[in-house]
Chains A and B, each alone.
Chain A
């Protein structure tokens, strides 16, 4: 067992820190300023790309460096500690989908731009009637010669208003079991028939959108993988949504804990216990993620155990969000300081996005503990 860096990893971290010391931008805008946040992230991604820090674990052929996923984790850990956003998660998991399922042409057409931050993607998975039961999605893509004609509606599509491409799941066959009739497409967001409507969230931002699709034409060459492969692809993508990126989130949690420690008074044992509890939850999450990362570095694909990591993440995130709100004074309620309530409310979303807490528990119960299905 070794929780430390290997000599190569340590050298990488040293170089990265030196680069960050020179290039870290001012702190990001607050979460509720969606537009400013988007532009901030895009310019930060380009700076990271110019520094050579994007696509570390990608093949060199597509502009990557062919390193182990551990280096992605180190990168995200250092970015989180420096208080700047992670390497865009779209790069790590949407890119992964193209890498694993894309044709030669698709890889060359999409991957380099994705890496350089020149192209922004969104993920068109959930629908109004297909949330936790994603496989029951009903957006339909009908083959007509060289194009598919898509009709339907997507929901919770993050960043759809800024994206130029969408990784879209649509049904292509209604006559097979629901998991087998789904296909993935790469959709141009400027195609005729697409309407994007941002949704105002409880913390004030408009990070998520509704996307309406009306007779949208997608060329056959923009189908990703074969017809009916969509469900497997989505599973791979969702699994890669976790892992190295999450360590970056944990690093931001650690930075937040350090800030909150400065707010603790000397004689409030209840606050001390709440702080210690949040600290332990963050550590448990971080250290368990390292186990998953070790498995990933050994070449094992992410499995049901990643749901355990997600559940530990939810606990840490929500404990911290509550602690932040509880440590705040009256300005959190008067609205003079919006940060504590925003952090708190955002933490409530942690048990919803990326597969609701209850779905993760089903996975752990049935696929980790082996409890019987009904």
Chain B
């Protein structure tokens, strides 16, 4: 069964990396890409519900935290696992506190590593 992953990031490099890397490694993944939090919410509202969301934190219009909050407050969406993509290196876990998503991965990341994490979460 094909697994749908939505990537939310304003950096085209990240979007290309995930799309090219994940699809190149495993045909089972279907990658949807959006470049802002607003678009992410719009897609969800159009009932395009993915199996997992990769969410950038530092975005210009709506921040990753806000998108995360909106998703988790919605009864329909709250079960979608979210993996944060962050450029911050060390303090992320502490700063986020209990607010952190299901996982996080630091940029720049290696695609095999990302895939490993995604698989782990989707198994649960």
Co-complex (A, B):
no
